[in-house]
């Protein structure tokens, strides 16, 4: 099987690990920088070019590892591969859904999956009413385009919340507000789902003085066994967003586990280190199973 890793660099742990496992399984793998790809429209099926070369049918499968800063272009490239019958571990529409935090939460909420109370608005004139609706401080303010814990702020008072929100409104930033779940105690659960199977899960804890448990923010992690309810939420969140591979983040609350977000390109270093699970190998097995089904 010929596999394209849509990534801007091979010097990224997750991309490198997937490439290693693909090669160990006897597959050809190549990094394709999606930011250097162009799409030609108007002559039959759209064609994809990189450095002037037509790569439309050069691969049997693609693994999108697309950063948030180039998400729109990356999604467009994934879509063109799909339109030409190339299998992808993440559909373009599913990546787009997951990257839009509000849209993802709308879908999960509509499907009856539990999430923290969340509010979003673009009206700076209704700040007081927004904060009242959500129940006041403390609360979490999130930039919709944030990742790895960046753009996530704990506002401990109404005064600080208004100051932060007013600043973001002036910057035309897209944001959402969420209730603060104190009982989560600076911890969350990350589950990796591959092909509707939870292959690894870990509990992440924040460092002293922070409330964000992301390992990029200095948090720590340990392997954890999911409860049946947590497993149900992880699998269904992934299914409803339409992803083949996903990282699902949850927190513990008095009401039970709550979904925070679903990541379409989850990092592998933290989860493989904490659990010892070969997640990259599971992704390659998922590709083998699905490309074989298509008769490739």
- Per-residue pLDDT tens for 209-260? 455 555 454 578 999 999 999 999 999 999 999 999 999 999 999 999 999 9
What's the pLDDT score for residue 152? 85
Check residue 151 and give its pLDDT.
Answer: 76
Query: Domain check: are 15 and 80 in the same one?
Result: yes
| 24: pLDDT strictly greater than 50 | yes
Assess contact for 89 and 245: CB atoms under 8 A.
yes
**pLDDT average, residue stretch 38-59:** 91
Q: Is the model's pLDDT at 23 over the cut of 60?
A: yes
Average pLDDT of the chain to the nearest whole number: 90
CATH number at residue 173: 3.30.1490.20
Within a domain: 110: no
Residues 171 and 206 in one domain: no
On whether residue 216 sits in a domain, the answer given is yes
**CATH code (residue 19):** 3.40.50.20
Residue 106 belongs to some domain of the structure: no
Asked if residue 292 belongs to a domain, the reply is: no
Which among 145, 180, 215 is the end of a domain?
Answer: 180
Rg of the chain over all Cα atoms, to the nearest angstrom = 20
Give percent of the chain with pLDDT exceeding 70: 92
Nearest to 16 by CA among 195, 243, 269: 269
Higher-confidence residue: 205 or 294?
A: 205
Torsion of CA 88, 93, 99, 101, to 10 degrees: -140
Residues 83, 124 within the same domain:
no
Instruction: Judge if 12 and 34 occupy the same domain.
Output: yes
pLDDT at position 6, please? 97
State the pTM of this model: 0.89
| pLDDT (mean) for 258-266 | 95
Residue-number span of the structural domain to which 228 is assigned: 183-283
Structure confidence by residue, pLDDT tens digits, 49-61: 999 999 999 999 9
Residues 39 and 123 in one domain: no
Cα distance between residue 79 and residue 71, in whole Å: 12
Query: Are 17 and 88 contained in the same domain?
Result: yes
Residue 294 domain-assigned (yes or no): no
Inside any domain, residue 108:
no
Question: Tell me, what's the pLDDT at 296?
Answer: 45
User: Are 33 and 7 part of one and the same domain?
Assistant: yes
Same domain, 80 and 12: yes
Q: For 36-63, what is the mean pLDDT?
A: 92
Q: 168 and 187: one domain?
A: no
C-beta atoms surrounding 266 within 10 Å? 23
Q: Specify whether 156 is located in the same domain as 187.
A: no
Q: What is the pLDDT of residue 54?
A: 95
Left, alpha or beta for 6 (phi > 0: left; psi -120 to 50: alpha)? beta
Domain count, the chain: 3
Q: Find the CATH number of the domain harbouring 237.
A: 3.30.470.20
Q: Quick one: 285 exposed, middle or buried, by C-beta within 10 A (0-12, 13-18, 19+)?
A: middle
Report pLDDT digits (tens) over 91-141. Answer: 999 999 999 989 999 999 999 999 999 998 888 888 889 899 988 889 999
* Least confident stretch, 1-5, 112-116, 154-158, 264-268: 154-158
Residue 111 domain-assigned (yes or no):
no
Check whether residue 158 and residue 87 sit in a common domain: no
Residues 187 and 269 occupy one common structural domain: yes
């Amino acid at each position: 099987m010929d596999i394209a890793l849509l990534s801007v660099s091979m010097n990224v742990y997750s991309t490198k690990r997937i490439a290693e496992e693909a090669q160990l399984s006897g597959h050809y793998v190549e990094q394709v920088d999606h930011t250097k790809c162009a799409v030609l429209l108007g002559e039959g099926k759209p064609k994809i070019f990189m450095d002037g070369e037509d790569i439309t049918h050069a691969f049997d499968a693609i693994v999108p590892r697309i950063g948030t800063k180039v998400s729109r272009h990356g999604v467009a490239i994934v879509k063109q591969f799909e339109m030409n019958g190339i299998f992808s571990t993440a559909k373009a529409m599913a990546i787009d859904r997951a990257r839009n935090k509000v849209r993802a939460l709308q879908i999960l909420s509509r499907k009856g999956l539990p999430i923290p109370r969340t509010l979003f608005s673009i009206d700076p004139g209704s700040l007081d009413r927004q904060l009242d609706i959500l129940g006041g401080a403390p609360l979490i303010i999130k930039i919709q385009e944030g990742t790895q814990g960046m753009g996530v702020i704990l506002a401990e008072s109404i005064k600080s919340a208004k100051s932060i929100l007013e600043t973001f409104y002036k910057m035309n930033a897209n944001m959402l507000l969420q209730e603060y779940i104190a009982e989560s105690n600076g911890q969350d659960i990350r589950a990796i789902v591959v092909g509707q199977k939870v292959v690894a899960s870990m509990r992440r804890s924040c460092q002293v003085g922070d409330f964000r448990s992301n390992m990029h923010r200095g948090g720590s992690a340990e392997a954890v066994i999911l409860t049946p309810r947590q497993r149900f939420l992880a699998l269904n969140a992934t299914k409803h967003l339409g992803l083949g591979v996903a990282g699902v983040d949850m927190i513990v609350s008095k009401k039970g586990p709550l979904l925070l977000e679903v990541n379409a390109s989850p990092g592998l270093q933290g989860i493989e280190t904490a659990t010892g699970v070969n997640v990259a190998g599971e992704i390659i097995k998922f590709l083998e199973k699905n490309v074989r089904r298509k008769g490739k």
